[in-house]
Amino acid sequence: MVRKFFRKWWRLFLVAALLAAAIQFFVRPPGFFPDQGIGRIGTYLFRPVYGGIDFLRQGISSLWSGYIGLVNVSRENRELRKEVAELRENLKESRDASLENRRLEDLLRFSKTLEKRTVGARVVGHDVSPWFQGIFIDAGTGEGVEPGMAVVIPDGAVGRVHRTYPGLSEVILLTDSRFAADVIVERNRVRAVAEGMGGNLCRLKYVSPTQEVVTGDRILFSGFDGSMPKGTPLGTVVSVDRPREGLFLNIQVASAVNFLSVEEVLVVLSRPSIPFRQGKP
Amino acid sequence: MRLLLVLLALSFAGTAANVWLLSGFVPWFLLPDFSFLVIVYAGLFLSGPLGFLAALLPAFFREISISGPPGTFLLASLAVYFAAREIGRRIFLRSEIFLLLIVAGLLAAESASVILLLVLEGGHPFSVLWGAEETVRIAWTSLLGVFLFVDLSVRWQRIRE
């Protein structure tokens, strides 16, 4: 009887068992599930894709600026206009190159201001799932990147390395709900814990109503928990709500970084002092 | 074998295009989860080891491209496959509306489970706007799923005939 029942419904039992295991992995203790093998295979499968797409993007960009951009040249003054357009395109290309150079120079200068060793990386993809906010960068285990390391740009913090593979790393953005770090208000050094809340926002937790935090205050990472370099900007306070009841203020902070426009980042090659749990605050 | 290769190619190309090419400038809720659709298709229409094989690689792709805790989305995707297999064996009527309901139901169930786990862990990252966007994603992916499933089934039937 039992065997017959099990034989009939074994798939549903399997579904339940798989879901239970998935939940266990979701809430697991550190180091419970090393998945390097799966990840390595995956990156080998996807590496030609993101490498190729990066190459194609640059190619299309130069093709666009070199040829297609000239389609609207008037027939009357074709040669002249073509020349002007070419010069303009060259100028635009030079501007792009100079902007890229400036960004890279900023990164280099910024990396020198950091006391720790850093490695530069290019953003090659984004997590498109609805639940998590992350990006993929083209630096991985080969470059010394490890889970928990801070990812920054001169404007401010980007996030924290989540998983690493050869030549690729996943970075949890600081607006992801699993991100949390110790921060201070720049003006009066009030301490708080910043936690991601989706969109472009973070919330500050555990700030007493007796503390003075106002809209426009700049928030910096304190560096006490070792997760981010001390003084790295998190963002600016956009709203402070003083609840009638409750122990703490409700504070929202807009990130200093526009994550969609980030192209190059720096990974701070320093292990966090507090053990990092993949996918956990 | 040909169908298996088509499904794997669809899953790989869809995931690669979404994560490495379109992400960053196309909003996430307009990017359908092709790997999820292939897993559900394998569960509903392919029986035996072929179906499991067709679901396994897309499950790997989801595991790699979703930055959840390691292992979670591989197992959750296999659970989706077996749930779809059970639905396919017992209550599945081959009509568009049933396909739509199945895909939308499985997507909504997965989304609700992840939200529940995140909320139980203490995170509150979801707003009304996020809910609306997620509804669009589920609706859009389900509609695309119906189109793909019907198209793939008809082509597969023609090949077999």
Tens-digit pLDDT profile for residues A197-214:
888 889 998 998 888 889
pLDDT band, very low/low/confident/very high, at B49 (cuts 50, 70, 90): confident
pTM confidence score: 0.78
Q: What is the pLDDT of residue B137?
A: 93
* Closest chain B CA to residue A34: B70
Contact (CB<8Å) A126/B24: yes
B158 Cα to chain A: minimum distance (Å):
30
Residues in chain A with CB shorter than 8 Å from the CB of B113 are 19
Say if residue B19's pLDDT is above 70: yes
Q: Quote the pLDDT of residue A237.
A: 94
pLDDT digits 0-9 by tens, B55-96: 998 998 888 888 888 888 888 999 999 999 888 888 766 788
CATH superfamily to which A116-275 belongs: Rod shape-determining protein MreC, domain 1 (2.40.10.340)
| Per-window interface: B 7-66 vs A, CB < 8 A | 12, 16, 18-25, 28-29, 31, 60-61, 63-66
Q: For residue B69, what pLDDT is reported?
A: 83
Q: What chain B residue is nearest to A179 in terms of C-alpha separation?
A: B123
pLDDT for the residue B136? 93
SS (H, E, C) chain A: CHHHHHHHHHHHHHHHHHHHHHHHHHCCCCCCCCCHHHHHHHHHHHHHHHHHHHHHHHHHHHHHHHCHHHCCCCCCCHHHHHHHHHHHHHHHHHHHHHHHHHHHHHHHHHHHHCCCCEEEEEEEEECCCCCCCEEEECCCHHHCCCCCCEEEECCEEEEEEEEEECCEEEEEECCCCCCEEEEEECCCCCEEEEEECCCCEEEEECCCCCCCCCCCCEEEECCCCCCCCCCCEEEEEEEEECCCCCCCCEEEEEECCCHHHCCEEEEECCCCCCCCCCCCC
Chain A (69-108) residues lying within 8 Å, Cβ to Cβ, of chain B = none
* Cβ contacts from A onto B, under 8 A: 158
Interface touch B79/A35, C-beta < 8 Å: no
The predicted structure's pLDDT at residue A271: 73
Query: Tens of pLDDT along B94-139?
Result: 788 888 999 999 999 999 988 888 888 777 667 888 889 999 999 9
* Structure confidence by residue, pLDDT tens digits, B148-161: 888 888 877 787 77
User: In chain A, what residues touch B63 (CB-CB under 8 Å)?
Assistant: 35, 38, 42
pLDDT less than 70: residues of chain A: 28-39, 57-78, 82, 85-86, 89-90, 92-93, 96, 112-115, 272-281
Q: What is the reported pLDDT for A151? A: 92
Using the beta-carbon criterion (under 8 Å), do B74 and A178 form an inter-chain contact?
no
B38-66 mean pLDDT: 88
Q: If contacts are CB pairs under 8 Å, which of residues 133-172 in chain A contact chain B?
A: 134, 136, 162-163, 170, 172
The answer to whether A250 contacts chain B (CB < 8 Å) is no
Domain spans in chain A, listed from the N-terminal domain onward = 2-45, 116-275
Instruction: Output the pLDDT for position A194.
Output: 92
Q: Judge: A26–B69 Cβ closer than 8 Å, yes or no.
A: yes
Query: In terms of pLDDT, which residue wins out, B141 or A16?
Result: B141
